[in-house]
Amino acid sequence: MQVADPKQLEALERSASRKRTLYRWLLFLVLGLFAIYYLAPLYVMIVTSLKSMDEIREGNLMTLPGEIMLDAWKTAWSGRGYAAGDVFLRPFFWNSLKMVVPAVAISTFFGALNGYALTKWRFKGDNILFLLFLFGCFIPYQAILLPMARTLGILGLSNSISGLVLVHTVYGLSFTTMFFRNYYISIPDEMIKAARIDGAGFFKIFFKVLLPISAPIIVVTVIWQFTGIWNDFLFGSSFSFGEAAPIQVALNNMVLTSTSVKEYNVDMAAAFIAGIPTLLVYVLAGKYFIRGLTAGSVKG
């Protein structure tokens, strides 16, 4: 095509730039719609939790609260205004924290150690062992409820936070091992060889050479484990009850066992409280999460 005519050229440029702007806005529109679709429930939760019951009954889901009321949050957290025996979240929040911190720490640490041993100290059958670990990732948790309950009984850990820590550690190991194994396999073996010649042993190499460069995968593993364990309901409800229950179980009890009218604002506030820690973890470490997920593909 001939574009020697400057006027023609100008017209072409204008139409191209118009087209670009149009596509840009179309893109924003579609992405915006998706974002609204995803965030709408969150909006409803927050708005509802800040309203009084009267306001909820009168208005609709989307209206903003006339006056911001934190009463529902206080009730959900510390049981303010509740009758004795009603469930509120504070003690169970600490239960969950006492469960999630050791379970995440232990499963991450041993996952790292396993991944290190499986990739850098190869032995006969190491691949078969790793396959078994992978197999562990696919076990449906419902299938092991009964044997695990029996095991916890024998160990004397039924209905205790320690019992839940054990269960989550054992079932988290498959995933944490896989994460670390896949990360360490991309780290050149020569680095380990050099350290061996330098005189470092198994643990020295692990702590001094490998662990300091494992930050990305540690973040991924911690987020994964934290989310999984914090949000777990099945193990929590199967192996604990009453005072030893984690927060998700307590939330369920709170919402389902209210004797009088449904207090939607309290329910929403409670659900939000139960979700805050995982949100926080994502906000704080999300950047590293994405970096860690892609880290394995490029050689450091």
CB nearer to other proteins: give 20 or 208.
208
In contact, 110 and 166? CB cutoff 8 Å:
no
CB nearer to other proteins: give 139 or 215.
215
Residue 270 in the binding site for other proteins (CB under 8 A): no
CB nearer to other proteins: give 13 or 198.
198
Per-position x/- string for 196-215, each x denoting binding to other proteins as judged by CB under 8 A, each - no binding: xxxxx---x---xx--xx--
- Among 133-141, 187-195, 240-248, 259-267, the segment contacting other proteins (CB under 8 A): 187-195
Q: What gap in Å lies between CA 125 and CA 134, rounded to an integer?
A: 14
Tell me how far CA of residue 271 lies from CA of 51, 60, 73, 142, 242, in angstroms.
15, 20, 10, 24, 19
Q: What gap in Å lies between CA 169 and CA 162, rounded to an integer?
A: 10
Beta-carbon neighbour count of residue 292 at 10 Å? 23
Tell me how far CA of residue 191 lies from CA of 24, 195, 261, 288, in angstroms.
47, 6, 65, 24
Residue 219 in the binding site for other proteins (CB under 8 A): no
Q: What gap in Å lies between CA 225 and CA 178, rounded to an integer?
A: 13
Judged by CB under 8 A, the residue of 194, 256, 280, 290 near other proteins is: 194
Q: What gap in Å lies between CA 290 and CA 283, rounded to an integer?
A: 12
Q: Which residue type, as a one-letter code, is found at position 286?
A: G
Q: Site for other proteins (CB under 8 A): how many residues?
A: 17
Per-position x/- string for 131-170, each x denoting binding to other proteins as judged by CB under 8 A, each - no binding: ----------------------------------------
In contact, 240 and 184? CB cutoff 8 Å:
no
CB of 267 to other proteins, least distance (A): 48
Per DSSP, which regions of 158-203 are E strands?
Answer: none
Q: What gap in Å lies between CA 233 and CA 246, rounded to an integer?
A: 8
CB nearer to other proteins: give 97 or 200.
200
Judged by CB under 8 A, the residue of 32, 153, 188, 286 near other proteins is: 188
CB of 195 to other proteins, least distance (A): 7
Residue 122 in the binding site for other proteins (CB under 8 A): no
Terminal C-alpha separation, the chain: 49
CB of 180 to other proteins, least distance (A): 16
CB of 206 to other proteins, least distance (A): 12
Return residues touching other proteins (CB under 8 A): 188, 190-191, 193-200, 204, 208-209, 212-213, 300
